């Protein structure tokens, strides 16, 4: 069985999750479910990034220990995944987990053994909010006399301390060669070009340890005399954080069963952390002699009614309230259908309602409900036998037949937006077909033809529902239940109904005549 290993970014648990986090988790979950349904041995990693100065400062402000803060909020994140968003992760990693400490220390040792770490003094600007160093030119002083990082607008403080450095400059050429040889490594292209331009301008060595606080993974004892020091160093939080992806694949245990998942097939991250993932991470891995992940997909930001979400604006949206208001399936669908994954987009109440009523209720919901009701009422609740197929029947069936292949192509590049667009185009056509054929008239004039039209429509609904299990697990399961489709294979977690998912191996089956159906109830009620 082919493996597929994918990851989200690991969130800072210095606060509670917002819908920007939810957006990333839902999209990655849709990808994971799609691959499971399509027969892959999937490993899906998510979790929290718990070390660093930001965590230590927030904990101090709250008068608790960093570990208490991390545990409290990591639990909130995990609970959101489990109880609100139905995220099908395989491991929720915390960077305070014991195996992660071992892993981060081992990658450090390997980078050191490669001659890529040296001891020096760091002096420059550090943004605690971004957990990131900035050069003088990358900062400016605002009207209040506060120095800010120009790119992110966060406050920076002058930092001068002994530090270990990573020879990032040495990897300028190897990185550029890697991008060139692997054009799918960074997506979308506009983001890839940003990264490439930045690397082409030349890379400076990177400070990778801190001595001014202690909430981090200790730097392992150096093996070479010139690296010895009396000071206690903890790793720069990004060295530790990025390494979570290999910890999740069993590193460094040579006997780990999880090893088969590395290299990762996909890292899903937001646009603000592309440099860490597309420059630092591959350079660390090259240095440590570890294979590089296959792809980094950079998604856009989700804004609230067109505005950036922030605590100070008071417009941070919490995922649980959202799901309670509209229902989880609607939220998941909206997030992927409303705007392309690589672009920024906005959440608006009206936008969600429009999607819910137009796309789900009026379109897919009505088509399923009308065809199932006709079968239930007029055909003894049994899926009919189709007669000879007309050209229109054949055309609709051919369109939907090709949809799995279309989805595979779009999912390969995380284009969920177009994948759903293609499904809805077929639903539009099927609705037109249904209106055109008028099975409710055929009922009196040509029952055999009515049966064929209903059979064709149910077959379209079956295929669409099979695919939609990835996006809207609950609603799609209800549809498949309503069609009397048996769970076909172990394609992931059991759903709320107790039914296992139906794998895409069932794609070429046809809906079987004679299958009994229950009295149908609408799967997508309107939002009033």
Please give the residue ranges that form the binding site for ligand ME8 (CB under 6 A): 9-12, 20-21, 23-24, 49, 241-242, 244, 269-270, 272-273, 301-302, 309
Cβ 10 to ligand ME8, closest distance in Å?
5
Q: Measured between alpha carbons, how far is 203 from 166 in angstroms, rounded to an integer?
A: 11
Cβ 422 to ligand ME8, closest distance in Å?
24
DSSP letter, residue 309? P
Residue 40: phi and psi, rounded to 5, are: -90, 155
Cβ 298 to ligand ME8, closest distance in Å?
8
DSSP3 helix / strand / coil % (the chain, rounded to 5): 50, 15, 35
Q: Cβ atoms within 10 A of the Cβ of 139, count? A: 17
Cβ 269 to ligand ME8, closest distance in Å?
4
Angle at 197 between CA 160 and CA 128, to 5 degrees: 30
Residue 301 or 376 with smaller CB distance to ligand ME8: 301
Residue 12 or 455 with smaller CB distance to ligand ME8: 12
Q: Measured between alpha carbons, how far is 394 from 205 in angstroms, rounded to an integer?
A: 62
Residue 18 or 478 with smaller CB distance to ligand ME8: 18
Length of the chain: 528
Residue 302 or 442 with smaller CB distance to ligand ME8: 302
The kind and range of the H/E element at 394 are helix 391-401
Cβ 503 to ligand ME8, closest distance in Å?
30
Tell the residue number behind the tokens 């498949």, with chain if given.
480
Residue 248 or 384 with smaller CB distance to ligand ME8: 248
The kind and range of the H/E element at 286 are helix 281-288
Cβ 295 to ligand ME8, closest distance in Å?
15
In the chain, how long is the greatest CA-to-CA distance?
A: 94
Nearest to 24 by CA among 56, 47, 54: 47
Report the residue number whose CB is nearest to ligand ME8: 270
Residue 118 or 339 with smaller CB distance to ligand ME8: 339
Q: How far is CA 389 from the centre of its chain?
A: 41
Cβ 319 to ligand ME8, closest distance in Å?
12
Residue 275 or 527 with smaller CB distance to ligand ME8: 275
């Amino acid at each position: 069985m082919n493996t597929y290993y994918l990851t989200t970014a690991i969130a800072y648990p210095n606060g509670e999750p917002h819908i920007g986090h939810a957006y990333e988790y839902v999209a990655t979950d849709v990808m994971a479910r799609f691959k499971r349904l399509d027969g892959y041995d999937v490993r899906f990693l998510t979790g929290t990034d718990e070390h660093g100065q930001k965590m230590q400062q927030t904990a101090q402000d709250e008068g608790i220990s960093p570990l208490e803060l991390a545990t409290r909020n990591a639990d909130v994140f995990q609970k959101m995944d489990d109880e609100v968003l139905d995220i099908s992760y395989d491991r929720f990693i915390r960077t305070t987990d014991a195996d992660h400490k071992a892993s981060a220390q081992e990658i450090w040792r390997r980078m050191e053994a490669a001659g890529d770490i040296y001891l020096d003094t760091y002096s420059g600007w550090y943004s605690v909010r971004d957990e990131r160093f900035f050069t003088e030119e990358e900062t400016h002083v605002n009207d209040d006399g506060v120095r800010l990082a120009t790119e992110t607008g966060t406050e920076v403080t002058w930092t001068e301390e002994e530090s270990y450095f990573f020879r990032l400059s040495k990897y300028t050429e190897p990185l550029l060669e890697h991008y060139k040889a692997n054009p799918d490594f960074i997506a979308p292209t506009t983001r890839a070009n940003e990264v490439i331009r930045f690397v082409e301008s030349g890379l400076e060595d990177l400070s990778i340890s801190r001595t001014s606080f202690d909430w981090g993974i200790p730097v392992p004892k150096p093996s070479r005399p010139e690296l010895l020091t009396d000071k206690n160093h903890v790793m720069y939080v990004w060295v530790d954080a990025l390494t979570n992806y290999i910890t999740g694949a069993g590193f460094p245990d040579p006997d780990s069963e999880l090893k088969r998942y590395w290299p990762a097939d996909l890292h899903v991250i937001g646009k603000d952390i592309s440099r860490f993932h597309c420059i630092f991470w591959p350079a660390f891995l090259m240095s440590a002699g570890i294979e590089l992940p296959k792809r980094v997909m950079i998604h856009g930001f989700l804004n609230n009614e067109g505005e950036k979400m922030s605590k100070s604006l008071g417009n941070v949206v919490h995922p649980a309230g959202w799901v309670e208001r509209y229902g989880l399936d609607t939220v998941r669908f909206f997030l992927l259908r409303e705007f392309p994954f690589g672009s920024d987009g906005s959440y608006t109440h009206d936008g969600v309602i429009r999607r819910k009523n137009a796309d789900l209720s009026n379109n897919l919901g009505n088509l399923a409900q009308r065809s199932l009701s006709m079968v239930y009422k007029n055909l003894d609740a049994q899926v009919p036998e189709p007669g000879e197929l007309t050209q229109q029947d054949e055309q609709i069936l051919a369109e939907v037949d090709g949809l799995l292949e279309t989805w595979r192509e779009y999912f390969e590049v995380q284009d969920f937006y177009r994948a759903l667009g293609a499904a809805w185009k077929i639903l539009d056509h099927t609705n037109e077909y249904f209106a055109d054929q008028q099975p409710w008239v055929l009922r009196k004039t040509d029952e055999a033809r009515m049966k064929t039209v209903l059979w064709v429509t149910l077959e379209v609904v079956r295929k669409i529902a099979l695919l939609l299990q990835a996006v809207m697990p609950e609603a799609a399961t209800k549809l498949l239940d309503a069609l009397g489709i048996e769970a076909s294979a172990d394609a992931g977690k059991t759903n709320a109904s107790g039914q296992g998912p139906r794998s895409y191996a069932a794609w070429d089956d046809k809906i079987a005549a004679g299958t009994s159906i229950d009295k149908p109830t609408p799967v997508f009620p309107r939002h009033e």
